[in-house]
Copies of this chain bind each other. A is one copy, B any other.
């Protein structure tokens, strides 16, 4: 990106959102932490500001979305639909990155996809065609995102969305943060990354992996 946009992380008080906010702040972006509760957003923003050594704002989700050029959302799936509704007006015309993983506790190691096929598809349907929904970041281990050092070569990012230019923006953003990212097709293909997280959690338990991920292989010409 030529100008460094202001990025809101809705659900930035959680593990995945907090890790993304930390990486974005380190990479020089102006970051806003969004949360349902203003107070929680402000507390998380203050902690991140101290860690990153720069100003970070904390706002309620709709205000965070309104103040940002690009919005990233990662909330517990139970909060997915209400959060979308709360920011619907504020994200019109913007790129909206859905990093929400549709886990259904307590069985988080079992794939249980939403009715619409994927959380990102539900976002696109609910937010409307004037919002460029892109799905990304569901598979990166939160521990890796929250670490001081760069662990971000451990998992590739599958970037899905119906608008190839918006996808390209998110691919480049991921690369700036040190992740290898790939165009992975239309928004319906978000089902892959969203469902994969349950498999990775299963493997972390089964194989005692510190934070399983995937790498894309090009294959060989036969």
CB of A203 closer than 8 Å to a CB of B = yes
CB of A65 to closest CB in B, whole Å: 27
Contact between B185 and A151 (Cβ–Cβ < 8 Å)?
A: no
Could you show 7 A-B contacts with beta carbons less than 8 Å apart? A110-B188, A155-B217, A189-B195, A189-B199, A192-B199, A210-B218, A212-B217
Residues of B within 8 A of A182 (CB): 203, 207
Contact between A210 and B220 (Cβ–Cβ < 8 Å)?
A: yes
CB of A16 to closest CB in B, whole Å: 14
CB of A53 closer than 8 Å to a CB of B = no
The CA of A155 and the CA of B219, in the complex, are separated in Å by 8
Interface-located stretch among A87-95, A125-133, A141-149: A141-149
Number of copies: 2
Contact between A110 and B195 (Cβ–Cβ < 8 Å)?
A: no
In the complex, which range does the number of interface residues on chain A fall in? Answer: 35 or more
CB of A216 to closest CB in B, whole Å: 6
CB of A57 closer than 8 Å to a CB of B = no
Contact between B111 and A151 (Cβ–Cβ < 8 Å)?
A: no
Contact between A198 and B202 (Cβ–Cβ < 8 Å)?
A: no
Residues of B within 8 A of A221 (CB): 210-211
Residues of B within 8 A of A198 (CB): 185, 189, 192
The answer, among B192, B210, B217, B222, for a CB contact under 8 Å with A219, is: B210
CB of A109 to closest CB in B, whole Å: 6
CB of A37 closer than 8 Å to a CB of B = no
The answer, among B109, B111, B118, for a CB contact under 8 Å with A117, is: B111
The CA of A112 and the CA of B186, in the complex, are separated in Å by 11
